[in-house]
């Protein structure tokens, strides 16, 4: 019987890469308008390369970018940061909010275990207007260790007050979310819609969700042995 569902945030609740893409376009346009001497596609490619090196949450990405292309200039930097923030679109995957409401209707407890820094995690939940739906939120600063370490999962499950085998964990990264969930004795569900790189059946998870609505189908199947309509 599943009594609690733990969600990852990025690429599980929210299309994180799409959000970055939508914010970076206007950021680069703004920098070019203020004097950045580079083609837009080259600038974007360079920024993604730096994200790969420093991580997608890297705070000084534009500073690093301008330095790396030999054009450090506060005028361009300020324009880039403002351009990035101006088009911030933090949207949940289509259908996800309805899924969360349905889970609440089924009296399931909901939690977050995310490697994002606490403020970023809360900002994203609040932007999406789903921050009130979660009973427990564990983000990076709560334990200072990243998934698949047990500590963040242990903190969440202790606060949820359920047994480990009553938890379904949903995430887009097999090496973090699935491996972590399995080590804890949770039932695991791979958010396939958030990670196109892993082939069907290769995530190692107990279940795979092709779209957010599949989460309900999986839970109803486990709890009632039936498919939801
Ligand atoms: Mg993720």
Query: Ligand 1 centroid vs 190 CA: distance in angstroms?
Result: 10
Query: Hey, where are the domains in the chain?
Result: 4-15+91-224, 17-86
Go through 27-62 and write b for each residue having 16 or more CB atoms within 10 A of its CB, e for each that does not: bbbbbbebebebeeeebbebbbebbeeeeeeeeebb
- Other residues' Cβ atoms within 10 Å of the Cβ of residue 216: 19
Query: Ligand 1 centroid vs 31 CA: distance in angstroms?
Result: 29
Query: Ligand 1 centroid vs 38 CA: distance in angstroms?
Result: 32
Query: Of 75, 140, 93, which is closest to residue 113 (Cα–Cα)?
Result: 140
Q: What's the pLDDT at 226? A: 61
Query: Ligand 1 centroid vs 65 CA: distance in angstroms?
Result: 24
CA distance 26 to 41: 12
Query: Ligand 1 centroid vs 142 CA: distance in angstroms?
Result: 17
CA distance 114 to 11: 11
Q: Are 171 and 179 in contact (CB under 8 A)?
A: no
Query: Ligand 1 centroid vs 172 CA: distance in angstroms?
Result: 5
Q: What's the pLDDT at 104? A: 97
CA distance 139 to 143: 8
Q: What's the pLDDT at 71? A: 97
- Other residues' Cβ atoms within 10 Å of the Cβ of residue 171: 30
Query: Ligand 1 centroid vs 12 CA: distance in angstroms?
Result: 6
Query: Of 157, 155, 173, 177, which is closest to residue 165 (Cα–Cα)?
Result: 157
Query: Ligand 1 centroid vs 117 CA: distance in angstroms?
Result: 13
pTM of the model: 0.84
Query: Ligand 1 centroid vs 147 CA: distance in angstroms?
Result: 10
Print pLDDT tens along the chain (229 aa).
Answer: 999 999 999 999 999 888 888 899 999 999 999 999 999 999 999 999 999 999 888 889 999 999 999 999 999 999 999 999 887 778 899 999 999 999 999 999 999 999 999 999 999 999 899 999 999 999 999 999 999 999 999 999 999 999 999 999 999 999 999 999 999 999 999 999 999 889 999 999 999 999 999 999 999 999 988 654 4
Query: Ligand 1 centroid vs 75 CA: distance in angstroms?
Result: 34
Residue 35: DSSP 8-state: T
Query: Ligand 1 centroid vs 189 CA: distance in angstroms?
Result: 12
CA distance 211 to 204: 18
Q: Are 106 and 121 in contact (CB under 8 A)?
A: no
CA distance 170 to 208: 9
Query: Ligand 1 centroid vs 37 CA: distance in angstroms?
Result: 34
Query: Ligand 1 centroid vs 10 CA: distance in angstroms?
Result: 4
In the CATH hierarchy, which top-level class contains the domain 17-86?
Answer: mainly alpha
CATH superfamily of 4-15+91-224: HAD superfamily/HAD-like (3.40.50.1000)
Q: What's the pLDDT at 99? A: 98
Query: Ligand 1 centroid vs 32 CA: distance in angstroms?
Result: 31
Query: Ligand 1 centroid vs 7 CA: distance in angstroms?
Result: 9
């Amino acid at each position: 019987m599943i009594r609690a569902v733990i969600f990852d945030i990025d690429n599980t609740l929210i299309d994180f890469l799409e959000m970055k893409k939508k914010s970076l376009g206007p950021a680069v346009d703004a920098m070019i308008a203020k004097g950045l001497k580079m083609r837009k596609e080259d600038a974007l490619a360079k920024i993604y390369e730096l994200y790969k090196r420093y991580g997608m949450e890297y705070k000084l990405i534009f500073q690093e970018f301008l330095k790396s292309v030999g054009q450090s200039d506060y005028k361009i930097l300020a324009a880039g940061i403002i351009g990035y923030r101006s088009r911030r679109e933090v949207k949940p995957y289509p259908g996800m909010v309805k899924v969360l409401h349905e889970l609440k209707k089924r009296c399931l407890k909901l939690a977050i275990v995310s490697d994002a820094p606490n403020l970023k995690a809360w900002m994203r939940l609040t932007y999406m207007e789903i921050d009130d739906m979660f009973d427990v939120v564990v983000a990076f600063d709560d334990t200072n260790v990243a998934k698949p370490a047990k500590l963040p999962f242990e903190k969440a499950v202790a606060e949820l007050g359920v047994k480990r085998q009553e938890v379904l964990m949903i995430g887009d990264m097999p090496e973090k979310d699935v491996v972590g969930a399995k080590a804890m004795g949770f039932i695991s569900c791979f958010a396939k819609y958030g990670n196109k790189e892993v082939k069907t059946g290769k995530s190692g998870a107990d279940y795979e969700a092709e779209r957010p609505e599949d989460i309900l189908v999986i839970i109803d199947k486990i709890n009632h042995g039936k498919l939801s309509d």
